[in-house]
Homo-oligomer: A and B are copies of this chain.
């Protein structure tokens, strides 16, 4: 066979971000397409640097690529460690046998452990396109997973990635189902429960759609990009940590399912349970507290739903050999005052340091959660956890512990302040009756959060506050005058973000 028929193409960097879907871009008149009979949407197997990856084919009808060249989506580019000029081999993707189990599920059959293992292995290995994942999620939604199947799915997801082992009898953890803006309880909770001697190696995420994630906020105060050996050192020394989880590949199949679930806006109870618990089990936790805010704009909207989910979470936890406790909380209001990494860090530091002006809602939530977690300990009786948590916080032990954890992670940092701020004043006297969290969050993002740590919005008047005309209601913080103006120009003409009712 002549060289022109070999299925190799020279890579050119196109830099197209498809959000974790592997795509290869080839010319419509490409010799490999013709020889292999590829068409748009064909699933192909890419081989480069000894690695293989399945991808979806998109064809190019322009001169972005020369004859003999191919491009990759960023996800495929990074997964294969590609470089400009590399020769990539492209062939038909081998058939994905586990798709027949998905079809069996569609036809109403129950699946066994081996079948879930195979499906999740193929999802983790990127052998499923988004279309296949969507079909799998749909087939499992609507209460179509038995309790046994949820346990198999959870186990398969744990096995799809790394697993941590702490050599401790008890490792505690917490997870919040559908977060609330500004709800940065995690560093406070970790400080309290580790000060009491429990082990809590906490990995957190960065912001996806919000002005700050827990990892972004914590990074204001200490380094969070720690690898597994570094995390182990911190936890051995201080019983706990608050680090970014991105460096560890826990339940990677779950990340792929979540990306499609978000696009579908489909909350499948079985999937949610498997998603939450698989990450905790893979992280080596033995006792997990689930914080479940319930409210009309929260992820869980009714008490019925909350109770059903709690039952599934606790039962699956038992089947997987871990203790799970669910704390149902109020999900109707934001928590704290700042939005943006530095402002949220300031709030949680105020709570840890017992400052008189610390946001009480943040303090109370942290105490609730820490109290529940403390009760996992054999030496803390049920009903006594919260009092104990308050003792630890009020005595300064939690603050001391937090400083020690930050030191172990690389050193406590001073909170930076924005050089440019702009105060928004009330245009009338009255009482604050409503705050539009979505638009407030957008202003914080336009001002530069979370990339600029100092950027964000500081709320001065929580719901219920009585105010005078001209009184500051919130302040926009930014790193540069340009960013500040950018956020303020959006603000122009946007009425009613903070609703003031004239009394």
Interface residues of A (CB under 8 A from B): 1-2, 5, 13-19, 25, 28, 34-35, 37, 39-41, 58-64, 74, 99, 103, 106-108, 129-132, 134-135, 137-139, 141-143, 208-209, 259-260, 262-266, 442, 445-446, 486, 489-490, 492-493
Q: How far is the CB of A441 from chain B (nearest CB, A)?
A: 9
With A and B bound together, what is the CA distance between A168 and B259 in angstroms?
A: 52
Q: Is the Cβ of B132 less than 8 Å from the Cβ of A18?
A: no
Instruction: Determine the chain B residues whose CB is within 8 A of the CB of A103 once the complex forms.
Output: 266
Q: Is the Cβ of B263 less than 8 Å from the Cβ of A129?
A: yes
Residue of B nearest to A26 (CB): B17
Q: Is the Cβ of B14 less than 8 Å from the Cβ of A266?
A: no
Q: How far is the CB of A214 from chain B (nearest CB, A)?
A: 19
Q: Is the Cβ of B446 less than 8 Å from the Cβ of A35?
A: yes
Q: How far is the CB of A291 from chain B (nearest CB, A)?
A: 25
Residue of B nearest to A442 (CB): B37
Instruction: Determine the chain B residues whose CB is within 8 A of the CB of A40 once the complex forms.
Output: 17-19
With A and B bound together, what is the CA distance between A131 and B25 in angstroms?
A: 20
Q: Is the Cβ of A61 less than 8 Å from the Cβ of B15?
A: yes
Instruction: Determine the chain B residues whose CB is within 8 A of the CB of A446 once the complex forms.
Output: 34-35
Residue of B nearest to A18 (CB): B58
With A and B bound together, what is the CA distance between A17 and B64 in angstroms?
A: 12
Counting every copy of the chain, the complex holds: 2
Residue of B nearest to A17 (CB): B59
**Selected contact of A15 from candidates B13, B60, B208, B259, CB within 8 Å:** B60
Q: Is the Cβ of A16 less than 8 Å from the Cβ of B25?
A: yes
By Cβ-Cβ distance, the 8 closest A-B pairs, closest first, are A15-B62, A19-B40, A134-B134, A138-B138, A15-B61, A17-B59, A107-B142, A135-B138
Q: Is the Cβ of B16 less than 8 Å from the Cβ of A490?
A: no
- The answer to whether residues A15 and B64 also contact, given A132-B264, A135-B135, A142-B107 and a CB cut-off of 8 A, is yes
Instruction: Determine the chain B residues whose CB is within 8 A of the CB of A131 once the complex forms.
Output: 130-131, 134, 260, 263-264
**Selected contact of A142 from candidates B108, B445, B492, CB within 8 Å:** B108
Instruction: Determine the chain B residues whose CB is within 8 A of the CB of A25 once the complex forms.
Output: 16
Q: Which of A62, A106, A143 has the most CB of B within 10 A?
A: A106
With A and B bound together, what is the CA distance between A19 and B58 in angstroms?
A: 8
Instruction: Determine the chain B residues whose CB is within 8 A of the CB of A143 once the complex forms.
Output: 107-108
Q: How far is the CB of A495 from chain B (nearest CB, A)?
A: 14
Q: Which of A1, A17, A442, A486 has the most CB of B within 10 A?
A: A17
Instruction: Determine the chain B residues whose CB is within 8 A of the CB of A37 once the complex forms.
Output: 209, 442, 445
Q: Is the Cβ of B74 less than 8 Å from the Cβ of A61?
A: yes
Q: Is the Cβ of B19 less than 8 Å from the Cβ of A41?
A: yes
Residue of B nearest to A139 (CB): B138
- The answer to whether residues A60 and B142 also contact, given A1-B493, A2-B489, A489-B1 and a CB cut-off of 8 A, is no
Can you report 22 A-B residue pairs in the complex whose CB atoms are below 8 A from each other? A1-B489, A5-B486, A5-B489, A5-B490, A14-B64, A15-B63, A16-B58, A16-B61, A17-B28, A19-B58, A34-B446, A103-B266, A106-B266, A107-B141, A108-B142, A129-B263, A130-B130, A130-B131, A131-B131, A132-B264, A135-B264, A138-B138
- The answer to whether residues A17 and B492 also contact, given A135-B137, A135-B266 and a CB cut-off of 8 A, is no
Instruction: Determine the chain B residues whose CB is within 8 A of the CB of A107 once the complex forms.
Output: 141-143
**Selected contact of A17 from candidates B16, B61, B130, B142, CB within 8 Å:** B61
Instruction: Determine the chain B residues whose CB is within 8 A of the CB of A486 once the complex forms.
Output: 5, 34
Instruction: Determine the chain B residues whose CB is within 8 A of the CB of A18 once the complex forms.
Output: 40, 58
With A and B bound together, what is the CA distance between A16 and B107 in angstroms?
A: 36
Q: Is the Cβ of A62 less than 8 Å from the Cβ of B134?
A: no
Q: How far is the CB of A263 from chain B (nearest CB, A)?
A: 5
With A and B bound together, what is the CA distance between A139 and B260 in angstroms?
A: 16
Q: Is the Cβ of A35 less than 8 Å from the Cβ of B490?
A: yes
Instruction: Determine the chain B residues whose CB is within 8 A of the CB of A99 once the complex forms.
Output: 265
Q: Which of A2, A13, A15, A143 has the most CB of B within 10 A?
A: A15
Instruction: Determine the chain B residues whose CB is within 8 A of the CB of A64 once the complex forms.
Output: 14-16, 64
Instruction: Determine the chain B residues whose CB is within 8 A of the CB of A493 once the complex forms.
Output: 1
With A and B bound together, what is the CA distance between A25 and B25 in angstroms?
A: 14
Other A-B contacts than A5-B486, A15-B62, A130-B134, 20 sampled, CB-CB below 8 A, are A1-B493, A14-B60, A14-B64, A15-B60, A15-B61, A16-B60, A17-B28, A34-B446, A34-B486, A41-B263, A106-B141, A106-B266, A131-B131, A131-B263, A132-B263, A132-B264, A134-B135, A134-B138, A135-B264, A138-B138
With A and B bound together, what is the CA distance between A134 and B135 in angstroms?
A: 6
Instruction: Determine the chain B residues whose CB is within 8 A of the CB of A58 once the complex forms.
Output: 16-19
